[in-house]
Chain A
Amino acid sequence: MTIITRRSFVKSAAAVSAAPLLGRSAFADEPLKVGFIYLGPIGDFGWTWAHEKGRKAMVDALGGKVAADYVENVAEDASATPVLRDLAQQGHKLIFTTSFGYMDQTIQVASEFPNVMFEHATGYKHAKNVGTYNNRFHQGRSVQGTIAGMMSKSGVLGYVGSFKVPEVVMGVNSFALSAQAQNPKATVKLVMIDSWFDPAKESAAAETLANLGCDFIASHTDSPAVLQLCEKRKLFGFGQGADMSRFAPHAHLTAIEDIWGPYYTSRAKAMLDGSWQSDDAWWGMKEGSVVMSPYNKSVPDNVRAAADKVIAGWKDGSYDVFTGPISDQSGTEKVKKGERIADKDLAVIDWYVKGVQS
Chain B
Amino acid sequence: MNFDFVAAIVTIVGVTTPILLAATGELIVEKSGVLNLGVEGMMLLGAIAGFAATFIASDPQYSDSAPWLGALAPWLGVVVAACAGALGALLFGFMVLTLGANQVATGLALVIFGGGVSSLIGAGFIGMAVTPFDQIFPDNLAQDPVLKLVFGYSPLVYFAFIMVGVVYWFLNKTRAGLVLRAVGENDLSAHSIGYSVIGVRYGAIAFGGAMAGIAGSYFSEVITPLWAEQMTAGRGWIALALVVFSGWRAGRLLAGAYFFGLFMTLELYAKASGFSFLPSQFWAAMPYVMAIVVLAVMSARESGRAEAPACLGKNFTPDA
* Residues of chain A having any CB pair with chain B under 8 Å: 4, 6, 9-10, 13, 17, 40-45, 49, 73, 158, 189-195, 197-201, 203-205, 207-213, 223-225, 228, 232, 246-247, 357-358
Taking a contact as CB atoms under 8 Å apart, the answer to whether B264 and A208 are in contact is: no
Which residues of the other chain, B, contact A13 by a CB distance below 8 angstroms? 108-109, 112
6 nearest CB pairs, A to B: A41-B229, A357-B274, A198-B233, A211-B7, A43-B229, A208-B268
The contact of B233 among A201, A211, A232, A357, by CB within 8 Å, is A201
Question: Given A9-B105, A232-B132, A247-B129, do A207 and B228 touch, yes or no (CB 8 Å)?
Answer: no
Q: Indicate if B99 sits at the interface (CB-CB under 8 A).
A: no
CB distance from B218 to the nearest CB of A (A): 9
Which B residue sits closest to A213, measured CB to CB? B2
Taking a contact as CB atoms under 8 Å apart, the answer to whether B105 and A200 are in contact is: no
| Interface-lining segment among B120-128, B193-201, B307-315 | B120-128
CB distance from A84 to the nearest CB of B (A): 21
The contact of A211 among B8, B108, B224, B227, by CB within 8 Å, is B8
Which B residue sits closest to A73, measured CB to CB? B230
Q: Indicate if B42 sits at the interface (CB-CB under 8 A).
A: no
Q: Indicate if B181 sits at the interface (CB-CB under 8 A).
A: no
Which B residue sits closest to A14, measured CB to CB? B112
Question: Given A208-B269, A247-B129, do A44 and B229 touch, yes or no (CB 8 Å)?
Answer: yes
Taking a contact as CB atoms under 8 Å apart, the answer to whether A225 and B224 are in contact is: yes
The contact of A246 among B102, B129, B227, B274, by CB within 8 Å, is B129
| Interface-lining segment among B10-18, B62-70, B246-254, B298-306 | B10-18
- 17 A-B pairs within 8 Å (CB atoms) are namely A4-B102, A9-B109, A43-B119, A43-B126, A45-B228, A200-B232, A201-B233, A203-B224, A204-B11, A204-B14, A207-B11, A208-B265, A212-B272, A213-B2, A223-B231, A232-B132, A357-B273
CB distance from A307 to the nearest CB of B (A): 25
Taking a contact as CB atoms under 8 Å apart, the answer to whether A4 and B15 are in contact is: no
CA distance A224 to B129 in the complex (A): 10
CA distance A199 to B129 in the complex (A): 14
Q: Indicate if B280 sits at the interface (CB-CB under 8 A).
A: yes
How many chain B residues have a CB neighbour from A under 8 Å?
Answer: 53
Which A residue sits closest to B274, measured CB to CB? A357
Interface string of B80-118 (1 = CB under 8 A from A): 000000000000000000000010110011001000100
* Residues of chain B having any CB pair with chain A under 8 Å: 1-4, 7-8, 10-11, 14-15, 18, 102, 104-105, 108-109, 112, 116, 119, 122-123, 126-129, 132, 134, 219, 223-235, 264-265, 268-269, 271-274, 276, 280-281, 284
Taking a contact as CB atoms under 8 Å apart, the answer to whether A246 and B127 are in contact is: yes
CA distance A213 to B102 in the complex (A): 52
Taking a contact as CB atoms under 8 Å apart, the answer to whether B229 and A4 are in contact is: no
CB distance from A278 to the nearest CB of B (A): 33
The contact of B235 among A191, A200, A208, by CB within 8 Å, is A200
With A17-B112, A190-B271, A203-B14 known, 18 other A-B pairs at CB within 8 A are: A4-B105, A40-B230, A41-B230, A42-B229, A158-B272, A193-B268, A194-B284, A198-B234, A199-B223, A199-B224, A200-B219, A201-B268, A204-B15, A204-B264, A210-B7, A212-B2, A357-B272, A357-B273
Which residues of the other chain, A, contact B10 by a CB distance below 8 angstroms? 207
CA distance A191 to B128 in the complex (A): 27
Question: Given A13-B109, A45-B126, do A200 and B273 touch, yes or no (CB 8 Å)?
Answer: no
CA distance A305 to B234 in the complex (A): 44
Which residues of the other chain, B, contact A357 by a CB distance below 8 angstroms? 272-274
Which residues of the other chain, A, contact B127 by a CB distance below 8 angstroms? 45, 246
Which A residue sits closest to B10, measured CB to CB? A207
Which residues of the other chain, B, contact A17 by a CB distance below 8 angstroms? 112, 116
Taking a contact as CB atoms under 8 Å apart, the answer to whether B229 and A204 are in contact is: no
CB distance from A351 to the nearest CB of B (A): 13
CB distance from A245 to the nearest CB of B (A): 10
CA distance A9 to B132 in the complex (A): 38
